[in-house]
Every structure is written in C-alpha cells, then in structure tokens.
Structure 1
C-alpha cells in the first residue's frame, strides 16, 4: 500500500501501514504503539513523539526521515537500513523486563543524532 503526504495520528491507522507499505512524505504523530512487525519503507517521513514498545523492525527501510522525541523500548531492529536520517531527543532503552534494544545487521548511512540515549557510537552525534 502506498501512503503519501498524510498525517497519521491514530495507532490503528499506523498499525495497518507498518508492514509491506511505502510511506512517502508522511508525518507520523501517534502517541504510543505496542508491539508489531515493521517492515515497510519510510521515505522522507517525519516521526515525532511516538512511544514504541516492543516493536520488531524487520528489514525496514528509512530514507531521509526525521525522528524527534521518539522512544523505542525493547525494540529489535533486524536488517534495517537507515539512510540520511536524523534522530533528535530520542531514547533507545529497555522494556519492562529490562530487554535492551537490538540492532542486528542494521546499517546507518549518513545518519546523525542529537541528544539521544542508547544509540551510542552507532550513529554520529551532531556538533
């Protein structure tokens, strides 16, 4: 499914788009979403203020996306590609069972972070 230039603010709507979709020039502002398999392509999207709990990002593609104020708790990123993405004020932390975020075979090309917790040296910090 292709979704273009849309504002998505409901978890139920976002859940339908997370696997096998292409989101282009979308703004995602869902307060929280739990679980789920995320394998879509996000092209030049803005994601802000989303609290993700136990999501499994599997082979997701993120190009030119901006993440602002997002929390990833116990997230698993498997084989994802982040290209020219920007992370600001984001947290990559443990879930309620202290399971840390995992970044198995995920690669970062030209990405930056500012004021983020949990990315460590995976993504260079902005000056």
Structure 2
C-alpha cells in the first residue's frame, strides 16, 4: 500500500519506514535521523530527505523521482542499481566510512539530477548518466 504525504521524523520512525521492502512513498518527508546499516529499496516520488546521516546504508535498486536530499551525509553507502530521476542534492556529503571505504554506485543511473554545494557527488555519479 502506498504511503502518501507522511512526515516521518526521527531515527526510529525513519528506519522503520524505510525498512519495509518494496514500499512506495509519494510526497513524504523523511528527516532528523542517524541510520547505520540497513537496506533501502522501493519507490520514492516527490519526497524529501533532510538532515539524515546514512552510515553503511544500501540503497538496493531503489527508484527516486523528483526527490530532494538536503543536508544529508552518506558514509560508505552503496547505491546499487538505483535510478535517480530529476532529483536534487543540496549540501550533501558522500564520504568514506571509518574503514576508509567510499560510497559506491554500481549499475546506477542519474537522469536530470543536480547537486548544489555537495561534496563527493560528482565523483560518485560522474559516469552514471546514460
């Protein structure tokens, strides 16, 4: 069942919502969370992610359309087989984890996305456009 126009705030609530496999989120707001590990898949349309710390997260074949990421930090996060369409990243950081592992994006495509004042975005997604 789709989740529509929900505001999901805090580590526990965000982790619980994103842990549901193959879920569909539309017009949802995810914010104020610190997440370690976990697999995030599903479809996210016109949703926002703000002030979230992602450590060793696995975005596995997720589809994100018209989403905004603002003030998010990704450490050692994998974006495997994802599709980002018309998404915007503002003040986000894509950093190495404590074992010096970088973020990865194998088999990921980025269409019409932009980044503003982000660290590591261009390096991570440089070769991902079709």
Aligned to 1:14: 14
5 Å-filtered alignment, 1:20-39, equals 20-39=22-41
Q: Deviations 1:67-123 (Å, cap 9, x if unpaired)?
A: 100000000010000000000100011111111000101000000001001112536
The structure where helix makes up a greater share of residues is 2
Aligned to 2:116: 114
Aligned to 1:40: 42
- Do 2:81 and 2:106's aligned partners in 1 also have CA atoms closer than 8 Å? yes
Provide the C-alpha distance between the structure 1 equivalents of 2:77 and 2:91, rounded to a whole number of angstroms. 17
Match of 2:91 among 65, 89, 92: 89
Match of 2:52 among 36, 50, 55: 50
Q: RMSD of the TM alignment (CA)?
A: 1.3
**Farther-moved stretch of structure 1 (4-13 vs 78-87):** 4-13
Deviating beyond 3 angstroms after TM superposition, the runs of 4 or more aligned structure 1 residues are none
TM norm structure 2: 0.89
TM norm structure 1: 0.91
In structure 1, the gaps of 5 or more residues are none
- Do 1:83 and 1:108's aligned partners in 2 also have CA atoms closer than 8 Å? yes
Q: Deviations 1:14-50 (Å, cap 9, x if unpaired)?
A: 2233231111100110321111001111110011110
